[in-house]
Every structure is written in C-alpha cells, then in structure tokens.
Amino acid sequence: MRILLTNDDGVHAPGIRAAAEALREIADVLVCAPDREQSGTGTSVSLQHPVRVSELAPIAPGVPTYTVEGTPCDAAIIALESLRPGQVDLVVSGINCGSNLGEDVLVSGTVGAALQGYFRGIPSIAISVASLTDVLYEPAGVLLKALVKELDVRGLSKVLPKSSDRPLLLNVNLPNLPREKLADVQITRLGRRAYADVVKEGHDGRRKWFWVTRDKPVWELVEGTDVWAVRNQHVSVTPLHTDLTHGTLPKVLAPLAGDLRAALKGASPNGRVLTSKRAPHPSAAPRAPRKAASR
C-alpha cells in the first residue's frame, strides 16, 4: 500500500514522526507536510502566491520527506498532484496534537488535509490525540497501524456499501491515555463542541491589533457522539462525508422559493406586479408646461 502522510502541526512535529514510524513497517510512505504549525486553517489553499517545496532528511528510515511553505491542504494537493500523481492508495493526516471533535472538523487543518484525498476519490484518515500537553503518541501509532492493516485486508473499496460513490473518510480521536487504560473503540457520530471565541486587543505603538483566541469549550455530552466517547475514555472513529445539506429543511423552505421567484419576476408574493416608479427627488423643480409653437 502507498500512503501519503501529512498533518497541520508541521513536518517536525512528534505526531507525524510517530505515524511515519508506525506506517513504514506496513506500507510505502511519503511525507509531505507544512513547514510550520498550521492548526485551524481548515481547507485553506494558497491561491494568491506560489508555494515552495523542499526535500528534507527522512523523518523515519526509508520515508521520503518533503516540506511545504503553505497550508496542510497545499501540502496534500502538491503531493497528490505533483510529487506522486496517481500513486497514492491512502491519505493519512496526523497524528495531531489536540482533538478534532464535533464541529471542530469544519476548521481543522488535520481534517482539511484528509479531505484533499477524499475529494480525489482516495480513502483518507484524520487522527488526533485529545491533549495539548504531554501527548502520548504511542497508542495512536499502534491504533493507526492496526486500522490501516485492517482496511488493507478488508479492501479499501469494500468497506463501504456498493451504493456509495465516495471513498472512506474517517476521523479518529484518542483520549490521552496509555493503551491499557483505553476503555473501548466506538464508531460514533459528530457531537457538538462549542467555543466562546475571545478577541484580545492591543496596540503596538503604531496600530491597534486583534487576536482571536478560544476559551474552554462547552461540551454537549450525548452518548453515541465522538465528544461523549473521548470524554469517557473511548477511542472514537467517526465516518465523515461532505454533504452538509440539512435533511428536512428543503421541504420546509419550499414556500420561500416561490416568494423569491416572484420577486425576481417583478411580482410581489401576493401576486401584484411591482413597479419601478421612483418618487421625485425633493430638490427637483417642477417642469413648466411647453408652449405651442407659433406659425
């Protein structure tokens, strides 16, 4: 199996090194990752300037390693389109320092990089450990290796139902615990994890600046969700897809479409024709009546 390994913590982060060490034993691994930490960049792509790529010494024996002066998505796209076009069977993003749970997946650089494989029809995995300090990467490395082996044995294309026209996309989160203290592995759905965004203000002597930071998250602990699983010491495996359509609202909103259609055609929602007459400007003087021409 040929694997592209990337992340959003940067090519020198310990998590991607742990993933490379685990995966190189079972697959042909290529590393292509940002040159610095890029958390929170989501699916951002550098479109306004060129992106430079450098080859580094392997971060693990036998693992070609490239670094990109750009976002996690830049790294994944460049690897998939230029460094190894048509030569990747699986994309792995991680192992991330810090969880990616609930609605966080929408802003996660880790998940964003995995999405680039998914968009190209390649099965993809995002994997994270739920801690920002003293992170235990060894359990995540063991789990990642086992997961990839199982997918390989079962067949990446056979894991999903035959009716599916999209590849597999998994978001994996582990509690920051030794293997013996992990409770179980659960297949979950996305939960709700909201932050109170805090804006700090300051002045550098010339200009005012603003810094967006995040306060402690507010968790909704509902059994069956990824948030509940990790908080209860389980490993969470969440299958994702990109259809963000609200399941019931299209029918509810159907009358609104009719009103908007009428407005576009120049009729009010009650059927009356809308006119384009404008009231005269207050400063406009009335015109004098025209005299008949003399003969």
Residue 110 backbone phi and psi in degrees, to 5: -65, -50
Which tens digits make up the pLDDT trace of 215-226?
A: 677 778 899 999
What is the chain's mean pLDDT, rounded?
A: 88
- Global pTM reads 0.84
Which tens digits make up the pLDDT trace of 109-135?
A: 999 999 999 999 999 999 999 999 999
The 3-state DSSP class for residue 10 equals: coil
Residue ranges making up the domain that contains 234: 2-193+219-239
Give a yes or no: residue 210 inside a domain.
Answer: no
**Minimum mean pLDDT range among 163-167, 229-233, 283-287:** 283-287
Q: State the pLDDT at residue 183.
A: 95
Give a yes or no: residue 255 inside a domain.
Answer: no
- Report the number of distinct structural domains present in the chain: 1
Give a yes or no: residue 203 inside a domain.
Answer: no
Which tens digits make up the pLDDT trace of 46-73?
A: 999 999 999 999 999 999 999 999 999 9
Give a yes or no: residue 133 inside a domain.
Answer: yes
Q: Residue 4 and residue 76: Cα distance in Å, rounded?
A: 8
Tell me the CATH number at 24.
3.40.1210.10
Give a yes or no: residue 289 inside a domain.
Answer: no
Give a yes or no: residue 15 inside a domain.
Answer: yes
Give a yes or no: residue 6 inside a domain.
Answer: yes
Residues 6+ apart with CB under 8 A from 264: none
Q: State the pLDDT at residue 295.
A: 47
DSSP 225: B
**Angle of helix 138-154 versus helix 14-23 axis, rounded to 10:** 40
Give me the DSSP letters along 85-125: TT--SEEEEEEEES---GGGGGT-HHHHHHHHHHHTT--EE
Give a yes or no: residue 14 inside a domain.
Answer: yes
**Beta-carbon neighbour count of residue 95 at 10 Å?**
32
